[in-house]
Structure 1
Amino acid sequence: MSAKVQWFAKDLLIIGAGFAAAMHIGKLPAAIPILQAELGLSLVQSGLLLSCIQCAGICFALLIGSYVSKLGLKRCVLLGLSLLTLASICAGLTQSVLSLFSMRIIEGFGFLLVTLSGPALIRELAPIQSLPAKMGLWAAYMGGGVGIALITAPMLIQSWSWSVVWFSYALITLSFLIGIAWFIPNTTPSSQAVPLKSLIKLTLQHQPAWLLALIFGTYAGQWFASVGFLPTIYEQNHIAPTLAGLLTASVSIANAVGTFICGLLLQRGLQAKLLVILGFVVLIACALLFYTAKDSLPFMLQYVLVFGFSLFGGLVAGSIFAQALHFAPSPMAISTTVGMILQCSALSQFLLPPSIALLVSSTGTWLWVGVLMSVLSILGIVLTQRLFAIQPKTSA
């Protein structure tokens, strides 16, 4: 096997691990009705179970990111995959709501370790000329992994049970764990004597890191809320549950396709700034048209708008993850910078959906949701202009 093929295979293992980690995020929605019936899960508990996987990211993403370089990138990926595998197996065996919550929180830490270490590890493994495309593939992990789960989980539940979903995804995660342990060369922890507090301080004092995190935050909450409210659209239009699941999965996968296309465009020399702004402009158009005329639009047009929102949102996600490699205060602080991005993303995804629900319930209309999302996208454009007026300190 040639060196080029070997590098490519190693890159795919890391990217595949990101997809596998995101599948654990997407496995729960299809299982909620079954868990409510079998374990007596209440509606409030269901909502908390869906959101508690974000707890690790909201509270500890930056802190854990500062430890990644110290512990070693490969070691952190393996630890994250191990936590996901073990927690998924334990959750599949349990019949206790408390245990299900505990395992979900542990899965959140596993997911965080994989997604914090992945970009920096790809940077070490990938040839410089293919790095933009590889980061585009990496950035597709959330949309792609969640989309795969939304397609496969209902089928497994219908044929067997929700526990089989947990066991199956644990097996997939374990296969990537073994592959990475066997094929990826060991990465030695950083020998630079930079105290963890200094690394966090360096990142917190670095303006581009804040800008990257805030830009991604203005986008991530919007995407999560739009996908989250899809069931409302389907219910209003009397769409069958099986078809609804496939349509939701296609919207999620569209985001992965958008991030992959973004990576290819970046590799061909298109400016990241233009791609981010284009993504936000399309987000504004789709959000305004969808939410201001939601009740009068035919279903297909509603779906096309949400699909386009997700697809072009991938341009934002792919560009921001790629730029994290360039704008980090130092190569050692890449994981810390990604930690800031993920922390802001998790906070946005946690806060925006209930804020939208409160806005709709208090005003009685979805019109102001479109306005809110447009304001967030305009803020994203302003922050993007500011980010690219700064010269990056590191190179990929």
Structure 2
Amino acid sequence: MATATTFARERTDWAGVMTVVAAGVVAAMQVGKGLIAGPLLQSDLGLDLPALGWITSVFAIVGVVGGMTAGAFVAAAGDRRLLGIGMAMLALGSFSGAASHAFALLLLSRIVEGFGFLLVVVAGPAILMRLVTSDRRDLVFSLWSCFMPAGMAVAMLTGPLFADWQAIWRSNGLITLASLVSIFLAVSPSRETSSIAASFPDDATETLTSRGPVLLFVLFSLYSLMSFTLSSFLPILLVQRMHVSLGTVGLLSAIITLVNVIGNLAAGHLLSRGFARGRLIASAALLTGVFGLWIFLSQSGGNLIFGLCVLFSAIGGLIPATLISSVPILSPRPALAPLAMGLLMQGSNLGQLVGPVAVGTAIERYGWSSGAAFIGVGALLCIVLANTLEQALRSKAQRR
């Protein structure tokens, strides 16, 4: 059984927090570069939409399989060490991908990046949990939840500045190396001791049989499915609906992705003021469902489609921040928090895996309106399960 000795902090290490969040943003840029480079990959390598979906969702395959295992390694080997290894793998994948001239080789480099991304997104929250005081936890985790939209927005905004996709890959490799150096300069090593690796089967079983972590896994899967249903092909959707250039699409996509941060930060503010987590998720799921259905079922173009995408992204940002900050609360024991976070990331990656490939295939066959099915089902299930999550949180609070 996992055991851990933890050391309470008297103040939040903000330098360390911002360095870890920055590393998360850089890691998310590696996802975003595959999206904004889609048209360039289509023209250079002749890829269709399903193939482009694999360029993005290959990250998720690794995450679905290895999320909890990564959590166990983080607890056993040290969170800062694993974060550094993850960033190094992202850099290696970027540089090797830039040298690839065939889809198979590019996909192989993306698998390497996928392993690195998984280590970053599991190790990052583990570090934050020991750098932050309890009264700042919701705020810090709302900041961490911004890493994905912020990183993808940066990738969308900077991608059109490059002449070819190989240059995008090389520049991302350099940025990742810079982030790796900053981690070892600004983040202190863990002082926790854990024997979690020796009892992984028992600890994994305890995590998987606990209602709270499983609910977080399912809810994050659904949110990720809805989010990536839109974002995976956002540049192509905007080109077809708004008839704008690739450079303009990069700017618009960056804005749409970046406003997700508003929801992330708003969630931290609302939670710190006592807003019920289940109610927050249900409300956000309802509104994103309405806007998502409008986007895919209507033939709207111009400013209307852009505004709908902005609202979808901004309101949807309430969900991941709420779920991520709930992990320490709903973990069976504090020592199992890395495994619970790994399970949550498996849910995120499951949605990323199903979304790009399934939606890409559906759009190819039936048109853009087929995306509405993924949005509608995901939103409905989120609303139903949000009430169950609220019950689990109340039950946990009563046992304390």
TM over 0.5: yes
1:290 corresponds, among 245, 270, 295, to 295
**Structure 2 contact 35–232 (Cα < 8 Å) conserved:** no
> Mapping of 1:245-394 within 5 angstroms?
245-292=250-297, 294-295=298-299, 297-356=300-359, 366=369, 369-370=371-372, 372-390=374-392, 391-392=395-396
Partner of 2:111: 105
The offset of 1:127, in angstroms, is 2.1
The offset of 1:66, in angstroms, is 2.3
Matches of 2:375 and 2:355 in 1, distance apart?
10
Partner of 2:221: 217
> Mapping of 1:104-143 within 5 angstroms?
104-143=110-149
Give the match's secondary structure for 1:195.
Answer: helix
Partner of 1:24: 30
- Pair 36,302 (structure 1): closer, same or farther in 2 beyond 3 Å: closer
Matches of 1:263 and 1:129 in 2, distance apart?
12
Matches of 2:107 and 2:139 in 1, distance apart?
37
Per-residue Cα deviation, 1:140-175 (whole angstroms, up to 9, x for no partner): 1111101100111221x13xx433322322222222
Task: Specify the code of the residue in structure 2 equivalent to 1:131.
Answer: R
Give the match's secondary structure for 2:13.
Answer: helix
The offset of 1:363, in angstroms, is 6.3
Partner of 1:78: 84
The offset of 1:192, in angstroms, is 4.0
Partner of 1:208: 212
Task: Specify the code of the residue in structure 2 equivalent to 1:211.
Answer: L
Give the match's secondary structure for 2:391.
Answer: coil
**Structure 2 contact 291–311 (Cα < 8 Å) conserved:** yes
Matches of 1:189 and 1:41 in 2, distance apart?
49
Task: Specify the code of the residue in structure 2 equivalent to 1:237.
Answer: M
The normalised TM-score by structure 1 is 0.89
Per-residue Cα deviation, 1:219-250 (whole angstroms, up to 9, x for no partner): 11111111234322431332222211211111
The normalised TM-score by structure 2 is 0.88
Per-residue Cα deviation, 1:278-328 (whole angstroms, up to 9, x for no partner): 211211221233334x12x35222221111111111000110000012111
1:152 corresponds, among 151, 154, 158, to 158
Matches of 1:394 and 1:111 in 2, distance apart?
36
- Count of residues in correspondence between the two structures: 387
- Pair 236,284 (structure 1): closer, same or farther in 2 beyond 3 Å: closer
Question: After the TM superposition, which of the residue ranges 382-391 and 193-202 deviates more from structure 2?
Answer: 193-202
Task: Specify the code of the residue in structure 2 equivalent to 1:65.
Answer: G
Question: After the TM superposition, which of the residue ranges 83-92 and 43-52 deviates more from structure 2?
Answer: 43-52
Partner of 1:88: 94
Matches of 1:36 and 1:291 in 2, distance apart?
23
Partner of 1:167: 170
- Pair 365,67 (structure 1): closer, same or farther in 2 beyond 3 Å: closer
Task: Specify the code of the residue in structure 2 equivalent to 1:84.
Answer: L
Gap runs ≥5 in structure 1: none
- Pair 5,239 (structure 1): closer, same or farther in 2 beyond 3 Å: farther
**Structure 1 contact 327–394 (Cα < 8 Å) conserved:** no
Partner of 1:52: 58
**Structure 2 contact 12–131 (Cα < 8 Å) conserved:** no
Per-residue Cα deviation, 1:166-211 (whole angstroms, up to 9, x for no partner): 2322222222211221221111463346511111111111111110
**Structure 1 contact 283–374 (Cα < 8 Å) conserved:** no
Task: Specify the code of the residue in structure 2 equivalent to 1:246.
Answer: L
The share of aligned pairs that are identical, in percent, is: 26
**Structure 1 contact 258–312 (Cα < 8 Å) conserved:** yes
**Structure 2 contact 229–374 (Cα < 8 Å) conserved:** no
Matches of 1:172 and 1:353 in 2, distance apart?
26
Superposed CA RMSD: 2.7
The offset of 1:69, in angstroms, is 0.4
The offset of 1:260, in angstroms, is 1.9
The offset of 1:96, in angstroms, is 5.0
Question: After the TM superposition, which of the residue ranges 143-152 and 341-350 deviates more from structure 2?
Answer: 341-350
Say whether 1:69 aligns with 2:75.
yes
**Structure 1 contact 143–253 (Cα < 8 Å) conserved:** yes
**Structure 2 contact 229–375 (Cα < 8 Å) conserved:** no
Matches of 2:115 and 2:226 in 1, distance apart?
23
Give the match's secondary structure for 2:275.
Answer: coil
**Structure 1 contact 227–251 (Cα < 8 Å) conserved:** no
The offset of 1:16, in angstroms, is 0.6
Matches of 1:34 and 1:305 in 2, distance apart?
26
Question: After the TM superposition, which of the residue ranges 189-198 and 106-115 deviates more from structure 2?
Answer: 189-198
Task: Specify the code of the residue in structure 2 equivalent to 1:68.
Answer: V
The offset of 1:14, in angstroms, is 0.6
**Structure 1 contact 62–343 (Cα < 8 Å) conserved:** yes
Give the match's secondary structure for 1:388.
Answer: helix
Matches of 1:289 and 1:216 in 2, distance apart?
22
Task: Specify the code of the residue in structure 2 equivalent to 1:212.
Answer: L
The offset of 1:365, in angstroms, is 7.5
